[in-house]
Amino acid sequence: MVNLKEQVGIKAAEFVKDGMIVGLGTGSTAYYFVAELGRRIKEEGLKITAVTTSSVTYEQAEGLGIPLKAIDDVEVVDLTVDGADEVDLALNGIKGGGGALLMEKIVATNSKDCIWIVDESKQVETLGAFKLPVEVVQYGAENLFRHFEKKGYSPAYREKDGQRFVTDQGNYIIDLDLKVIQDAEALANELDHTVGVVEHGLFLNMISKVIVGTPEGPVIIEKWVSLERGRV
């Protein structure tokens, strides 16, 4: 059986060239991209420097011998490759299922180009079926939770091993069960201006292409092609 996550991870690694500073995403799909970069460094002599988006990815990359730098030690990232939990027709998406949305968005924002790697199940017409992660500071989190309840956003604290999940930056994640997000731009703006919210999982207008894993092989969807489809 074809491993679609491995398939797109290997395909995405083809876009990485010598001398690049590369952003390494987090999650079960990005894992294969990082693994392929490690192979290319070892077997092909690929010369890159990488920036990671989580402690998990840092440990994987370090173990593979991938040269690493902190995001503050590079002026710009040439290419970031990451997974996504949902991606719509305009190539906007929801990320943060792995709990690394803050670092992922910081690296993506500082990147010249971003590519997402997903399987077909992550493609949707409208965002929202996947619960939207919102990273919040611990201080005042209960008030934020009640605020989201009043808004009808059906909030729930992210948990791990029976305890509230704590991000690499020491914050909580509140997942919003919105079902359908009619206006992602408006919601992103609202959350951006909500005191106590550190970051949210709406990644809008941030990528150039998506590589979709299919049983027939990887399919590359470019931003402009996607927008044309959306108008049809």
| Whether 190 is catalytic | no
pTM for this entry: 0.93
Residue 1 banded pLDDT, cuts 50, 70, 90: low
Tokens of 150: 């009043």
- Mean pLDDT for 216-226 is 83
Residue-wise pLDDT tens digits, 146-183 = 999 999 999 999 999 999 999 999 999 999 999 999 99
User: Which region among 102-106, 177-181, 203-207, 222-226 has the lowest average model confidence (pLDDT)?
Assistant: 222-226
Give span(s): CATH 3.30.70.260, the chain. 132-200
* Amino acid 223: pLDDT: 80
Give the C-alpha separation, 96 to 123, whole Å: 16
Residue-wise pLDDT tens digits, 17-69 = 999 999 999 999 999 999 999 999 999 999 999 999 999 999 999 999 999 99
Give the C-alpha separation, 121 to 7, whole Å: 15
Helices (H) and strands (E) in the chain, counts: 7, 15
* Amino acid 232: pLDDT: 36
Tokens of 229: 């489809």
Give span(s): CATH 3.40.50.1360, the chain. 4-123+204-231
Residue-wise pLDDT tens digits, 48-58 = 999 999 999 99
Catalytic residue among 104, 120, 142, 190: 104
Residue-wise pLDDT tens digits, 86-145 = 999 999 999 999 999 999 999 999 999 999 999 999 999 999 999 999 999 999 999 999
Residue 224 banded pLDDT, cuts 50, 70, 90: low
| Closest to 109 measured CA to CA, from 51, 67, 155 | 51
| Domain 4-123+204-231 in this protein, CATH class | alpha beta
Residue 228 banded pLDDT, cuts 50, 70, 90: low
- Mean pLDDT for 171-198 is 98
Per-residue buried b or exposed e for 149-165, using 16+ beta carbons within 10 Å of the residue's own CB: eeeebebeebeeeeeee
* Amino acid 226: pLDDT: 52
Domain 132-200 has CATH 3.50.50.60: no
Q: Which residues pair with 23 in a beta bridge?
A: 51, 80
